[in-house]
Amino acid sequence: MTVAGCNNQNNNPSNTTSNELQNVNINVGCLNGPSGFSMAKMLTDNAHYNLSLAASPDIITTSLISGELDIAALPVNLAATLYNQTENKFKIIAVTGLGNIYLMSSKNVDDIKQLEGKTIVVAGKGATPEYAIMNILEKSGVNAELEFKPPAEVAAAAIAGQADFILIPEPFVTQIMNQSEDMKVVFDVNELWENYNDGKELLMTCVVARLDFIDANKVAVDKFLDNLKSSIEFCGQNHTETAELAVELGMMENAQIAKKAILNSAVTFISGNEMKEKAVNFLSLLYETEPKSIGDEVPDDGFYYNR
C-alpha cells in the first residue's frame, strides 16, 4: 500500500497511513520451547507484538477462542481441530516447523523391526508424536506397546535409566543427551515418516490467526508474515543469537540447550499454495491414522490463508 502526501492528510481522521495499518498491536501466543524459535527475532524487534507464553496447547486454544490472542503458534493437527470445532473461525497462515521428533534408546537399534514387542514411552498423548508413531508402526507392520507420559516425565525416566525406548521432540532430546551417556537417537522419526508416506513431510508447528482479526487487519497480518519470514531467516543464520533471544523472552531456560535444539528443530517458513499442499497431505495422512487427531475431518479450503 502506497500513501502519497501523508502530511496533508493528518487532519483527516478517516485517512490511515500504511505504517498505522501495519503496526497495530497484535497479541501473539506460543508454547514454551522450540515453537517460538521462529518468532524470537521479530518479537524482540517489534514492540507492538505482545507475547504470551503457555505451558500447554490447550491454554493457547482457549485464549484464541476467547479473543485474548490474535495470532498463535500451534501444532498443525491442533490447528485443524480448532478450525473444525469452531465453525471455521481460524486460518492457518504459515507452517513454521517440520518434524523434530526422535526415537531414543539405550539399546543398539538400527532396524524398525527391532521394536517388535517393545514398549515405547511417548511424550504426550493426543499430540503429533503419538499419531506419527502410530502411522509408522502400522505401515511397517511392527507391534509395539505405547505408554504415554508428559514430556518432562519421559525425559526424567530416560535420564534415570527407567525407559529403554522413548519418543520425544526437541528440546528434550538435547537435554537427555546432555545428561545421559546411554541414551542416543536411534531413529529420526521425520525420516521414517517420509519413508512410509511416499515422501510427504511431517509437519509440526504452524501459525494461526483468528478470522475476524484477519478481516479487520489484513495489512497487519501480511506484515506479520513478512516479519515472520525474516525472523526465520535470521534464526537459520544466527543460531547463537536466536538461542539467546529465546532465553530472554522466556521460551527456553538455557541458551546452550536452545542453540543445539534449534539445529534439530527444522524451523522453516512455508505459506500460500505450498503450505496448503503440504498441510493437506499431512492432515490427510493423520486422518487415515486417527480421525480424531484433526477433529474428525480434513479441513476445507477455508482453513488456508493466501495473501
Residue 34: its pLDDT value, please? 86
* 6 falls within a domain: no
Say yes or no: 87 and 127 in one domain.
no
**CA distances, 2 to each of 5, 9, 17, 133 (Å):** 10, 14, 9, 50
> 139 or 264: which carries more pLDDT confidence?
139
Instruction: Tell which of 196, 216, 246 closes a domain.
Output: 196
**What is the band of 23 on the pLDDT scale with cuts at 50, 70, 90?**
confident
Given a cut of 90, whether residue 7 has pLDDT beyond it is no
Q: Which domain does 113 fall in, by range?
A: 101-196
96-109, pLDDT tens digit by residue? 999 899 999 999 99
Asked if 87 and 109 sit in the same domain, the reply is no
Per-residue b or e along 51-77, where b marks 16 or more CB atoms closer than 10 Å to that residue's CB: bebbeebebbbebbeeeebbbbbbbbb
| Total tally of structural domains belonging to the chain | 2
Model pLDDT for residues 63-121, shown as the tens digit of each residue? 999 999 999 999 999 999 999 999 999 999 999 999 899 999 999 999 999 999 999 99
- Residue 17, pLDDT score: 59
Q: For position 272, which CATH number holds?
A: 3.40.190.10
Q: Among residues 196, 229, 253, which one ends one of the domains? A: 196
- Whole-angstrom Cα distance, residue 267 to residue 272? 17
pLDDT at 259 > cutoff 80: yes
Q: Is residue 293 part of a domain?
A: yes
- pLDDT tier, 6 (very low <50, low <70, confident <90, very high otherwise): very low
SS3 string, 111-147, reads CHHHHCCCEEEEECCCCHHHHHHHHHHHHHCCCCEEE
Q: Is residue 241 part of a domain?
A: yes
Identify whether residues 229 and 189 lie together within a single domain. Answer: no
pLDDT at 2: 19
C-alpha cell at 196: 512410509
pTM here is 0.90
Q: Which of 247, 211, 265 is nearest to 53 (CA)?
A: 247
- Same domain? For 81 and 63 the reply is yes
Same domain membership, residue 257 and residue 176: no
Domain membership flag for residue 12: no
Look at residue 273 and tell me whether its pLDDT is greater than 70: yes
On whether both 215 and 293 belong to a single domain, the answer is: yes
Report whether pLDDT(14) > 80.
Answer: no
Q: Is the pLDDT of residue 11 over 70?
A: no
Residues 217, 75 share a domain: yes
